[in-house]
Amino acid sequence: MTLTTELALLAPEIALLIMTSIVLVVDSLYDNPDRVLTYKLSQLALIITTGLVLLQFPEVSTHIMSGHFVSDPMSAILKIVLGLMTLIVFFYSYDYLLEHELLKGEYFILMLFAVLGMQIMISANSLLTVYLGLELLSLALYAMVAMNRTSAVATEAAMKYFVLGALASGMLLYGISMLYGVSGTLELPALATYLGAQTEANLLLVFGLVFIVVGLAFKLGAVPFHMWVPDVYQGSPTSVTLFIGTAPKIAAFAMAIRLLADGLQPLAGDWQGMLIVLAVLSMAGGNLIAISQSNIKRMLAYSTIAHVGFLMLGLISANQTGYASAMFYVIVYTLMSMGSFGMVILLGRNGHEADNLDDFKGLAERSPWFAFIMLILMFSMAGVPPFIGFWAKWFVIKEVIAAGHLWVAALAVIFSVVGAYYYLRIVKLMFFDKPVQMTAIKSSQEMRMVLSLNGLAILILGFMPGFLMTLCIEAMGF
């Protein structure tokens, strides 16, 4: 393959890097407290990057950069979703950052670098590329969590995230070194070929696999490696929490597929058992602990942990349809989570964070339309039909049953019912309780429109989920 062809396939990543550098230079030279130019250029960077992915949407899998980078339908779909989700995050974040005096160029620049790291993870075809993309993402997120320098809570959350994240990265790197030491290759397809040819158990391979799964579990926020999630979600500015709770989950899913499905598929019998334990613990711990939370950001953090458990159900089946169900789930989850944190931002006022459940009391009286949007979001999170969240859970549970793990599917249904309690509690607060105060909701027309479209998309997709399901199945067919 020629260098020109390889550079053409790398065009989205190259364009994003160039645009991010331009945003960095412009922001340092353009002295404007409103950061309008930085904001617009950051949006333009995402639009150009997503447009380039669409223009060269691949029909087959192509390996470039000496086998370290892959362009395939799954990577293209996830990059498009990632670009659109981050664009929506910018829409939600701007007014919040301006009101809380946190509007700095670093927010947009770090987020663009994080997106670049996620794109590298999504197209990674070697152990080295996976790790490089992960570190670029992680370093940007550590800095974003600590953006509010005057907040002791944010600083504590950033320190905890950094220390635990470094520990998890070390474990992942240790696992990678073991796999490389045994197989002599970094490329994931070559690693799978080597593992498939092994007839005897190798202790180093088993240890390497354990460290890889632990690193993945931390990045996903699965129990018992979830300890950073509630503190980081609560301690970060809500605009940062919004980003951490959505886009990186897409990249973490892609990393799981690249490592487990592309590289470690011959060891599926070993990692399936580990994922079953992690999935059950995450569904149980996340849903049960969320019930006792009074802070909605912490509640959504434990909700995330529970959803990670459901996401893992798709991976447990270790086949293409199961992976497609997990891909469907992660896309749907990010859409729902984005809307939920968007509502938290919308209800904030005069520098006050609307992060307590009481802030949602009587929302139907204050704003019937946005109470309806939040109802859609909560019903979908709970898995109530016909909302898209129901189809996401149905898809992964169906695949678990098909794989022969009936008891895991039964537990998933039980914990889904348990989880419905704390989602429906918010609906009860909005429609049946009296509002604590009747302050008008102040937000830009842009914010209201995007949040409304976010909620309506969940409702519409619930009535016709087939398109997204088919897209995910076809993406995993290559």
The residue assigned the tokens 């393959």 is 1
**212/173 Cα distance (integer angstroms):** 8
Indicate the pTM of the whole model.
0.94
pLDDT by 10s per residue, the chain, length 478? 677 778 888 999 999 999 999 999 998 888 777 888 999 999 999 999 999 999 988 888 888 888 889 889 999 999 999 999 999 999 998 888 888 888 888 999 999 999 999 999 999 999 999 999 999 999 999 999 988 888 888 888 899 999 998 999 999 999 999 999 998 888 999 999 988 887 776 888 888 999 999 999 998 889 888 888 899 998 888 899 999 999 999 999 999 999 998 888 888 888 999 999 999 999 999 999 999 888 899 999 999 999 999 999 999 988 899 999 999 999 999 999 999 999 998 887 666 777 888 888 888 888 889 999 999 999 999 988 889 999 999 999 999 999 888 999 999 999 999 999 999 999 999 998 888 776 767 777 888 899 999 999 999 999 989 888 999 998 887 4
Give me 340's structure tokens. 């939920």
Report the distance separating Cα 227 and Cα 353, nearest Å: 23
The residue behind tokens 């479209």 is 453
Structure tokens at 426: 């918010």
Please report which residue ranges of 291-367 form alpha helices under DSSP H: 296-316, 320-347, 363-366
Angle at 36 between CA 33 and CA 39, to 5 degrees: 115
Instruction: Provide φ and ψ at 226, rounded to 5°.
Output: -105, 0
| DSSP string computed for 91-149 | HHHHHHHHHTT---HHHHHHHHHHHHHHHHHHTB-BHHHHHHHHHHHHHHHHHHHT--T
CA distance 359 to 437: 9
